Structure 1
Amino acid sequence: MRQLAQLARGPLSAAVVELVTTGPPGGAARPGAARPEPAGGGDPWGEDHQLALHLCYELHDRGLPGVDPGWEWDTGLLGFRQSLERPFLAAVRAEAGPVPPLAELVEGLLTATGDGGPAGHLLAEGERWQAREYLVHRSVYHLKEADPQLWLLPRIHGPAQAVLMTVTYDEYGAGRPERAHALLFARMMADLGLDPSYGHYLDAVPAPALAVVNLMTLFGLHRSLRGAAVGQFAAIEITSPPGAARLAEALARLGAGPDGTLFYREHIEADAVHEQLVRRGVIDELTATEPELAREIAFGMAAAAAVDARFAGHLLDHWRAGRSSLRSALPDGPGGSDGPGGPDGPDGPG
């Protein structure tokens, strides 16, 4: 990751960076510290908006380099974050459109093929540079896989909570740290010549990929959106196995070694089990005891599909035109060398 001061993509993200890097002194946040002006009139899908929101959310996750952790609960910054969340959530609701009934959405996810998406493209005609770009995009989430969903655990109770804990336990290796999915993803990145350091490629990752992860965190951090968080997580688990199978085969075709396909091979089997657990043990249990959550769970699924579709469209539009889908191309990107390249070449994100 570049120095924070170099990451800004506009006035919103620049204001966040300036605020958290100029204090507070003494290791504790100043209550009600001055904050940037609320967002208004900008594009909630835009680069500046999505990066500003991502930086605010990172204070709740791994933190930001050199930033006092007291900023996490600074009331001024939380107010600014809210001014970013509201238009983003409104834009997601508008993009999702009228939400079908939950049962209809689940059935659609179970029968979806995904042939026309990025995984299908990489399998049928993808090039190695495109596969590496795909991993860079996905690294924003997969290097902390399931962390956003953990916010859900104290927000649901009874059998649904126990089943959700079972699923997330698997995400962290089921007691075997070396099998944690985030670590498997890091090994896959290294196998394809990428730097697996957390946040290394943030400057290169564009807004459509940031929006996918921001949506997860938005849902996870708000109890009022816990149903949407369940729906978003369920959508991942239900649709993962066929996509993972395509990606494992595509990466093997493009020269990945065993470490370069293990992450997706793990998800073919694991998420087939998770799909059953999430549907029957989480969704069915929750809607039986709290039927009012069904509509919000359905919205979470529809919202995830809408944001994922924007991301997929971004990738395919760029790749089919022979252009990099990143903000700065990797060394072996279009027009670059044919070799795997290193993570810090002259055209890579410094």
Structure 2
Amino acid sequence: MKFPSPRGPLSSSLIGILEQPTNQTNDAVGQFGAQVSEAIAKTAKISADDDIQLILFCLYELHYGGFDGADERWEWNVSLLAARQAIEAAFEAELRAAVELPALEAKTSDDVAEVLFDLTGQDSGPSMSSFVAKEATLEQLREFLIQKSVYQLKEADPHTWAIPRLKGRAKAAMVEIQADEYGGGREHRMHSALFAQTMRGLGLDDNFGGYINAIPALTLAGTNMMSLFGLNRRLRGAIVGHLAAYEMTSSQPNRLYGNGFRRHGFDKDVTWYFDEHVEADAVHEQIAGRDLAGGLFEAEPHLLEDIYFGACAALTVDLWATERTMAAWQSGKSSLLSPLPAAA
């Protein structure tokens, strides 16, 4: 993707660093670490800080597709990794403080699954899917897709980091789920490709990162949380719990999302992405709860707390982002940092 526009001194510094060869910015890199520490100390909420969430997104993106014009050796620069770890520590601490975990009383994989189904079945806030199905305007549908695009255009990639960290039943379950996410080996059926098709159907740019400058911190925080869990082996329980929560809260909302687009006259080329998830995730939720999360618990019982943490964090951050978007729409404002181009 192309470099985003800076949102503050941190992102301005980082983009300036990444635009240079790795052997010409030693002083700037050293100063960047100090800037990060100062910003962490000053911010009221890591997850809602646009500058911090943008640089965390950029630092993670070095491990995914990278940036046009950036030296790929920046991926493993120890100073940038140290800065990232400082943000991760504060971000993780904030997430752990924000969630309330269920009792750690599970004895079997089925027990773990039942707790996760209970967590994901609770009504905790405004329903984005119901609003999209019944009320969202065409402009709000476009905003909805843009908000989702920062993850959906590379759907499954953050969770795939967990595969080499798992074994046995949990690993087999993860591979089964991810194989479907990647279209069963058929490029045009990859879920990221289906989402790109939906975006094109509404006249939107389907290039990853095409709307990064419009996406607010809380939306970036949701994607950054996945990368935090997926890239740190010690948090393999959290990424498993996160995926389980995602799969368990996907089928019915996607049915409603599809209905919302059909309400505006869009056909199956646009709704295919949502319709695919209705069927696939009805199966995935059982695999994710019983074989993935439950299987990991049976193999490594000490990870139960992190499995629940990942699930609870997924639901919490999604709620924060949903509340922000719905509040903007209900007040007649855009949920994006900048309005959509008129050409859309």
Residue among 38, 60, 65 paired with 2:63: 60
1:11 is aligned, of 5, 9, 12, to 9
Q: Partners in 2 of 1:33 and 1:206 — Cα distance?
A: 26
Distance 2:303 2:31 in 1: 35
Equivalent in the alignment of 2:246? 236
- Is the Cα–Cα contact under 8 Å of residues 171 and 181 in structure 1 kept in the other structure? yes
Tell me the distance in 2 between the aligned counterparts of 1:113 and 1:176: 36
- How far the C-alpha of 1:297 sits from its partner, in A, is 0.2
Code of the residue aligned with 2:244 in structure 1: it is A
Distance 2:140 2:324 in 1: 13
> How big is each residue's C-alpha offset from its partner over 1:135-172, in whole Å with a ceiling of 9 and x where there is no partner?
00100000000000110001111121011101101000
Contact 2:237–2:296 (CA under 8 A) maintained in structure 1 = no
Q: What residue number does 2:77 align with? A: 74
Corresponding residue for residue 178 of structure 2:
168
Are residues 83 and 319 of structure 1, via their aligned partners in 2, closer, same or farther at CA, if it must alter by over 3 Å? same
The correspondence for 1:88, drawn from 88, 91, 113, is 91
Q: Take 1:192 and 1:261, find their aligned partners in 2: how far apart are those partners?
A: 11
The one-letter amino acid of 2:74's match is W
2:336 equivalent among 316, 319, 326: 326
Aligned residues between the structures: 329
Give the Cα separation in 1 of the matches to 2:87 and 2:123: 34
TM-score (norm 2): 0.90
Counterpart AA for 1:41: K
User: Are 1:258 and 2:258 an aligned pair?
Assistant: no
1:276-317 C-alpha deviation (Å, 9 max, x unpaired): 111121122111121111111000011111111110011100
Q: Is 1:34–2:37 an aligned residue pair? A: no
**Partner of 1:326: helix, strand, or coil?**
coil
- Alpha-carbon displacement from aligned partner over 1:51-76 (angstroms, at most 9, x marks no partner): 01001000000101210110000001
Pairing of 1:32-181 with structure 2 (within 5 A): 34-36=30-32, 37=34, 38-39=36-37, 40-42=41-43, 43-44=45-46, 45-96=48-99, 98-101=100-103, 103=112, 105-109=115-119, 111-112=121-122, 116-181=126-191
CA distance in 1, matches of 2:139, 2:83: 38
Aligned-partner Cα distance in 2 for 1:51–1:107: 32
Structure 2: runs of 5+ lacking an equivalent: 105-111
- 1:347 is aligned to none
1:330 shift after superposition: 1.1
Partner SS, residue 7 of structure 1: coil
1:189-213 alpha-carbon deviations (Å, 9 max, x no partner): 0001111011100001011110110
Residue of structure 2 equivalent to 1:203 = 213
Give the residue type in structure 1 aligned to 2:80: L
Q: Is the 8 A contact 1:113 1:242 kept in 2?
A: no
Deviation at 1:105, TM superposition (A): 4.1
**TM-aligned CA distance change 1:312 to 1:33, over 3 Å:** closer
Post-superposition shift, 1:342?
3.0
Residue 108 (structure 1) shift: 2.2
Identity of aligned residues (%): 39
Partner of residue 293, structure 1? 303
Cα distance, 1:77 vs. partner?
0.5
SS of the residue 2:147 aligns to: helix
Quick one: distance in 1 between partners of 2:72 and 2:31? 16
Distance 1:90 1:75, change over 3 A: same
Select between 72-81 and 280-289 the one with higher mean Cα deviation: 280-289
Query: Which structure carries more helix by proportion?
Result: 2
2:107 corresponding residue in structure 1: none
CA distance in 1, matches of 2:124, 2:187: 31
Structure 2 CA distance for partners of 1:153 and 1:273, relative to 1, 3 Å: same
TM superposition shift of 1:227: 0.3
Q: After alignment, is 108-117 or 181-190 more displaced?
A: 108-117
Name 1:335's counterpart in structure 2. none
Q: Does 43-52 or 307-316 show the bigger shift?
A: 43-52
What's the offset of the Cα at 1:254? 1.9
**Which residue pairs with 1:272 in the alignment?**
282
